[in-house]
Amino acid sequence: MTAITAPYILPTGTKLNPADPAGEYYSDEQTLIIVKTTDTGRYRVLTSYGRPTDWNIGSLWDIRHDQTGAKLGIVQVVGLRSPGSEPTGEVPAKNVPHYVFK
């Protein structure tokens, strides 16, 4: 499967627990997209108001930094948590780096 170039995202410099989210850059109205880097297998969590189209479990994305354009790596969607729905896929119960869509 080929990675799709993603919209730009911005690292917040914070961490978020996808199983129990709270914090400065999080709202109960946001969707959490849990991804794993393909090179190291590390989790990242992306938050968005609404669910970006095509960010489905199993899809691959080439993510880039919003301000610098630097490549942040290729990630695979492994879990989702949407407002009013049960989490699906992998939703780790630990703090992981938090990114936001721009």
Q: Residue 35 — pLDDT band, cuts 50, 70, 90?
A: very high
Q: Residue 27 — pLDDT band, cuts 50, 70, 90?
A: confident
Parent domain of 81: 4-101
Q: What is the pLDDT of residue 101?
A: 85
d(CA 83, CA 68): 31
Q: What is the pLDDT of residue 11?
A: 93
- Whole-prediction pTM: 0.90
Q: How many domains does the chain have?
A: 1
Q: Name the nearest CA neighbour of 57 among 15, 87, 83, 29.
A: 87
Q: Are 48 and 81 in contact (CB under 8 A)?
A: no
Cα torsion 93, 53, 8, 36: sign: positive
The percent of residues above 90 in pLDDT, for the chain, comes to 64
Q: Give the residue, 66 or 25, on which the prediction is more confident.
A: 66
d(CA 76, CA 38): 7
Q: What is the pLDDT of residue 78?
A: 98
